[in-house]
Structure 1
């Protein structure tokens, strides 16, 4: 996961964010130098990114990666909506998806097929709240999924996904000696990270699992 890899792209704001976080947070002052040459993977298109996020909802990282590989093997790396929609729910379930996820994946494919005008330029022009609202129109997409989309497709620099259990686990581990942490406590810790809360979240994820920082 080193940045010279052509698959990866270091966001223009990343170095500035790291400098800020190192100065403002004692934990990130230690973590960032450990992983400083690593960066977020260059995203796929908005549709592929969202499908992968839906597939990975509420399951382990390992299982999410396995299901994603099986879906890509079946429909190809572009994962065209037409391919998803040509599969029945039963066929999608045979790839390992639950009934609900099979329905959600089909709904997302249908949404993007009907809203093909939602290209990269459209997403870039909208603020976070507008994008969250639009994505939540799709069945099976909630705030967590929308925030993952903001982070991993759009690279928005100041997203704090408090519904993410891995982030709460990392905050618990590094800031609360492993004690359970509430969303309120996590938000208090994250005040020092603004306006770069995405970058702080990424390094905390990275401290737990290298594969946890890719969608």
Structure 2
């Protein structure tokens, strides 16, 4: 069994307007967007933030294939095929979750997330638009095993926020060095300063830094006709 298929991210902004703005303020990024566009992030088809964070915990520091296998085993251990609730996690004993492939730290993190959900300590998912990015980063990263990067990925790929700048992401830093001709990877603070001109659409610029590292398909034109 594999992980769930991905779905296009439902964006909270006009992507075409964002690309037009970025092309004006940063012509080099504009060339990358013209070659690699359009902006089209996608995320695993988690039904809500709770399950997106649950999946993120399972996937931490693992390859996609291995993480997908463990994620499927965890769902089975919880008696679910799609979206187990927090009560199901809290009702499942440690040995059962560990036997599904979770490390001790990940098992504890899942329980902490579930306990926060049951206690009503998570932001109201019906009012997420009322929360700033910083509010959500502070709220979710207070939970054991969920760091700033994990919440930034949630904001960018699950919630479709426009101005997320994951300055600690290695792929974004590598892409930036490649696009802008830096000999060394930029430090996070250097990334933050250099990408200020991307506001208020730093999510878009960041996504294209990942894309910049991917191979470009080369068209050889139509096959020659037979003589």
- Per-residue CA deviation, residues 123-179 of structure 1 (Å, 9 max, x unaligned), is 211112222221122111222222222222322211111122222222233224562
1:94 corresponds to: 99
- Cα distance in 2 for partners of 1:139, 1:18 equals 36
Specify the alignment match of 1:28 in structure 2.
29
Q: Name the structure 1 match of 2:54.
A: 51
Q: TM-score, normalised by structure 2?
A: 0.76
Shift of 1:7: 4.0
My pick for the range that moved more, 127-136 or 81-90, is: 81-90
Q: 1:209 to 1:56 in 2, by over 3 A?
A: farther
CA distance in 1, matches of 2:47, 2:212: 24
Contact 1:10 1:39 in 2 (8 A): no
Deviation of 1:203 after TM superposition, in Å, equals 2.0
> What residue in structure 1 maps to residue 169 of structure 2?
164
Q: TM-score, structure 1 length as denominator?
A: 0.80
| Contact 1:17/1:196, CA 8 A, preserved across alignment | yes
User: 1:44 touches 1:153 (CA, 8 Å); kept in 2?
Assistant: no
**Offset of residue 22 of structure 1:** 2.1
Q: Note the C-alpha offset of 1:118.
A: 4.0
Higher CA-based Rg: 2
CA distance in 2, matches of 1:66, 1:25: 41
Quick check: which one's helix share is greater?
1
SS of equivalent residue, structure 2 residue 8: coil
Q: Which moved more, 1:147-156 or 1:173-182?
A: 173-182
Corresponding residue of 2:224: none
Q: Does the Cα contact within 8 Å between 2:9 and 2:159 map onto a contact in 1?
A: no
The 10-residue stretch of structure 1 (71-80 or 148-157) with the greater mean CA deviation from structure 2: 71-80
- Tell whether the 8 Å contact from 2:15 to 2:39 is kept in structure 1 after alignment: no
1:8 equivalent in structure 2: 8
CA distance in 2, matches of 1:49, 1:178: 36
Distance in structure 1 (CA, Å) of the matches to 2:131 and 2:24: 31
> RMSD between aligned alpha carbons?
2.8
* Further displaced range: 18-27 or 103-112: 18-27
Question: C-alpha separation between the residues in 1 aligned to 2:188 and 2:35?
Answer: 26
Query: Structure 1's 193 and 69: CA in aligned 2 closer, same or farther, altered over 3 A?
Result: farther
Indicate which of 171, 181, 184 corresponds to 1:179: 184
* Residue range with higher mean Cα deviation, 6-15 or 121-130: 6-15
Deviation larger for 35-44 or 98-107 = 35-44
